[in-house]
């Protein structure tokens, strides 16, 4: 028997799934009350500084619903409480990220990075200015590297890959990029993984090293 993590809940780990789906309503209700208590405590431990008590109550309730929906898929490869806590944290973290980035649109995130790439080398920039301090030659090299990077992204990636990559570089978390692109976090990761492989192949074909292309400008802090 695994020890449970919550100080109040003294249920044997193996009994959770059974009790939560028991035909006996009293057993089921008691297990549900214990689970709600466990979720509140764990979420409070992880998010007390970021979420109110009311938020934690709501997220614990939402976690309960998700746990019930997924109960049949619990494979007992971990403690039930670890599995339940992971579900609660996943929901809470998603909610926090949603709130934090709710005013940042996909277009904003993409266009900020796009503008940075599009104007690379076209004028004196902060990084170029730093380069000027060590000489015009270094600035020209940096300009050429920026141009090669922009071309790689334009030529090697699909429009969807480009959008996802630029949004990620623009500071939007993957889960928020996924939400805005109407896809799952996992599917978005696969899209970006393929994009990275394409960029690497593009560089390899041209004898370019990503480490050189993406090195910080000389003289930069």
Nearer of residues 88 and 106 to other proteins, judged by Cβ: 88
**Under the criterion CB under 8 A, does residue 216 sit at the interface with other proteins?**
yes
Within 10 angstroms of residue 67's Cβ, the number of other Cβ atoms is 21
Binding residues among 22-81 for other proteins as defined by CB under 8 A: 42-43, 45-47, 77-79, 81
Q: Assess 163 for contact with other proteins (CB under 8 A).
A: no
**What tokens were used for 2?**
């695994």
- Residues 70 and 86: their CA atoms lie apart, in Å, by 13
Please, what is the minimum distance in Å from the beta carbon of residue 215 to other proteins? 7
Q: Do residues 62 and 89 make contact, with C-beta atoms less than 8 angstroms apart?
A: no
Give the Cα-Cα-Cα angle 85, 178, 70 (nearest 5 degrees). 35
Angle between helices 106-118 and 136-156 (to 10 degrees): 130
Contact footprint for other proteins (CB under 8 A): 2, 5, 42-43, 45-47, 77-79, 81-83, 85-86, 88-90, 92-93, 113, 115-117, 119-121, 123, 125-128, 142, 146, 149, 169, 173-175, 184-190, 193, 196-197, 199-200, 203, 210-211, 214-217, 220-221
């Amino acid at each position: 028997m695994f020890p449970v993590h919550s100080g109040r809940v003294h249920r044997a780990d193996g009994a959770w799934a059974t009790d939560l789906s028991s035909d006996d309503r009293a057993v089921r209700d008691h297990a549900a009350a214990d689970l709600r208590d466990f979720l509140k405590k764990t979420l409070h431990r992880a998010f007390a500084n970021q979420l109110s008590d009311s938020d934690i109550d709501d997220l614990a309730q939402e976690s309960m619903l998700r746990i019930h929906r997924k109960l049949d898929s619990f494979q007992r490869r971990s403690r039930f409480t670890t599995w339940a806590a992971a579900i609660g944290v996943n929901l809470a973290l998603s909610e926090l990220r949603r709130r934090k980035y709710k005013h940042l649109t996909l277009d904003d995130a993409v266009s900020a990075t796009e503008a940075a790439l599009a104007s690379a080398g076209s004028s004196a920039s902060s990084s170029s200015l730093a380069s000027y301090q060590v000489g015009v030659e270094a600035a020209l090299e940096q300009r050429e590297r920026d141009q090669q990077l922009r071309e790689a992204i334009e030529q090697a990636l699909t429009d969807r890959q480009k959008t996802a990559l630029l949004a990620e570089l623009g500071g939007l978390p993957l889960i928020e990029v996924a939400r805005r692109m109407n896809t799952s976090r996992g599917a978005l990761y696969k899209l970006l993984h393929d994009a990275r492989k394409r960029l690497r192949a593009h560089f390899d074909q041209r004898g370019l090293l990503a480490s050189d292309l993406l090195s910080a400008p000389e003289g930069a802090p």
